[in-house]
Amino acid sequence: MQAFLSLWRRHVLSVTATLILLTGSAWLFLGVLEDVISRDPLLQADLIVWRALQDLRPSWLDSVMTGVSEFGDAAVVVPVVLAVLSWLIWHRLWRAALYWLAAVGGAEVIVKLLKLLLHRARPRPFAAGIESFSFPSSHATLAMVTYGFLAFLLCEGQRHRTRVAILVTATITVTLIAASRLYLGVHWLSDIVAGMSLGLAWVAALIIAYSLSTARPIRSQCLTWIVMMTLLTGATLHMVRWHVTDVALYTPLRHITRMTATQWRSDGWRALPMGRVAVVGRIDEPFVVQWAGFSAMIGSALQAVGWKTADSGLAWLRWGAPRAVTLKFHDGAPPAMTFVQRDSASPDKLLVLRLWSSDCILERPGGPSGDMPVWVGTVTRERVSAPWSWTVSVPSVDEDFASPANAFGQRFPEARRVTRDDAASAQFRQWDRRVWLVCAGGRAREPSHGVAMNPGLDPCE
């Protein structure tokens, strides 16, 4: 304790800042860890961010981000670690060498243990063994520890401008490596945040421990040049050998299911997603509708029976836009189409239909130009919100999924009603497990007169 107080009196600002970093980063890591274990709804951001970045990916940026990520690969980091360790041992800086090993080795052990304990799957598999687990990000953690603690060692005894340059360089390097892992889709946002906060907490703790006793400052420009040359040489050799392979490895793959309309109606509908996934590993609502057709055809068919197009909850971002229905996500994506209709049984409630792409295509005669997408959707009964609310609807507290779906299906007499028998659907007790298969060419029944009307749309086949 006396050593710590003495250190604090001599470097009050530096020690205070380091303690704040240690406390804040440790708190952040533990908070994210708790959310991951409990599957907190806040982790919905994982899917949202992942989906947004995967939908954005130009090929030129893929190559750049793959190169940035390779700066955090073991083939690049390990030579830097060994070069620094060798230099410290050569100059008999035993204490610095010991802490350098503790920094990198300790972080590696902690990350491996967490991966083995949590077994959290990556957004998409690309590795085997322990590297198939994503939490926390090894690249983010080890980049923070390696370049962070190295920056601390290099800053000792340097002028203010030199310290600033070293810290800025280390910060940019760590941030870019972490961002590249997120962009390439191999980690969730929570993996990156946890990895960086864990690494920062570990570095801060080691800095405090290292500073408690007097140690000879490094004060060597030579080590800085050795690190730079080792890093650039290792990265260049690694990229020459593996960059093309890595770009192909990280290229996003979208699996499209193709089938005929007959196959879809027969049994193919079972291959489509069972429900809406807002948080990884949890189904929030069942998909009670599968609709084959183009968006314009679906909109016309619904408008013919009294449904109206509605904006999603993102509409409030547009100045002067009308109020929208509550925003919901599936696999990080907002609904591709949203429709509302007044509930005849409860005037103060709305029936809300939300449709997402299922990545399924129905093949039709005439070639690919005539192929028809299949959409999956939820039908919910939602309360009309107060006039001053951002949204026009508020989700109901009950989880009755059967009656809203049946109210929807009654408008389309030619729709086929099928029943799921899988274990996942059994979790929804207020759902009869029935799914409505609707074709855009199916006839709709006008609600007020009970007359079947044909919107003039092409059938599925």
Q: Summarize pLDDT for 396-449 with one digit per residue, the tens.
A: 545 678 888 888 888 888 888 898 888 877 788 788 889 999 987 544 444 443
Most confident of 321-325, 336-340, 456-460: 336-340
* CA 175/CA 199 separation, integer angstroms: 12
Asked whether 68 and 180 are in contact (CB, 8 A), the reply is yes
Rounded Cα gap, residues 133 and 136, in angstroms: 8
Please, are residues 298 and 355 in contact by the beta-carbon 8 Å criterion? Answer: yes
**Residue closest to 36 by CA, chosen among 163, 144, 137:** 137
- Among residues 387, 382, 291, which one has the least CA distance to residue 342? 382
Q: Which pLDDT belongs to residue 324?
A: 61
Specify the pLDDT at position 8: 44
Q: What are phi and psi for residue 339, nearest 5 degrees?
A: -135, 150
Q: Are the beta carbons of 391 and 366 closer than 8 angstroms?
A: no
Element (H, E) at 375: strand 372-384
CA distance 145 to 127: 23
269: its two tokens: 């509908």
What pLDDT shows up at residue 451?
A: 37
Helix (H, G, I), strand (E, B) or coil at 336: coil
Pair 51, 332: CB distance under 8 Å: yes
134 or 316: which leads in pLDDT = 134
Helix pair 160-183, 189-211: axis angle to 10 deg: 150
For the chain, domain boundaries? 8-250, 257-439
Mean pLDDT of all residues in 258-277: 90
Give residue-wise pLDDT tens across range 327-361: 888 888 889 999 988 766 666 778 889 999 998 99
370 contact partners, CB below 8 Å, separation of at least 6 = 364
Rounded CA separation 157/424 (Å): 61
For residue 96, what pLDDT band results from cuts at 50, 70 and 90?
confident
418, β-bridge pairs: 435
Q: Are 219 and 156 in contact (CB under 8 A)?
A: yes
Query: Which own/partner pairs from 342-349 qualify as long-range (CB within 8 Å, at least 24 positions apart)?
Result: 342/306, 343/381, 343/407, 344/447, 345/407, 346/381, 348/383, 348/384, 349/381, 349/382, 349/383, 349/384, 349/396
State the pLDDT at residue 449: 38
196: confidence class by pLDDT, cuts 50, 70, 90: very high
pLDDT-based confidence at 142, cuts 50/70/90? very high
Per-residue pLDDT band for 461 (boundaries 50, 70, 90) equals: low
Looking at every residue in the chain, the average pLDDT score rounds to 81
Tell me the pLDDT tens digit for each residue of 181-194: 999 999 999 999 99
Contact yes or no for 151/208 (Cβ under 8 A): no
16-69, pLDDT tens digit by residue?
778 888 899 999 999 999 988 888 877 788 888 888 888 888 888 999 999 999
**Per-residue pLDDT averaged across 382-401, rounded?**
59
pLDDT grade for 320, boundaries at 50, 70 and 90: very low
> Does residue 158 register a pLDDT over 80?
no
Name, of 204-208, 379-383, 387-391, the range with top average pLDDT: 204-208
Phi-psi region of 359 (alpha: psi -120 to 50; beta: other; left: phi over 0): left
Cα(410)–Cα(434) distance, integer angstroms: 13
Q: How would you label 292-315 residue by residue, b for 16+ Cβ within 10 Å and e otherwise?
A: bbeeebbbbbbebbbbeebbbbeb
pLDDT band at 288 (very low <50, low <70, confident <90, very high): very high
Write down the pLDDT at residue 323: 47
On the question of pLDDT at 390 being above 50, the answer is no
Please say if the pLDDT value at position 453 is more than 50: no
The DSSP 8-state label assigned to residue 84 in this structure reads H
Predicted TM-score (pTM) above 0.85:
no
Integer Cα distance of 59 and 246 in angstroms: 13
**309-323, 348-362, 375-389: least confidently modelled range:** 309-323
Residue 28's pLDDT is 94
**What is the average per-residue pLDDT within 296-310?**
87
3-state secondary structure of 251: coil
Q: CA angle, corner 163, sides to 162 and 168, nearest 5?
A: 100
Helix (H) or strand (E) holding 289: strand 289-292
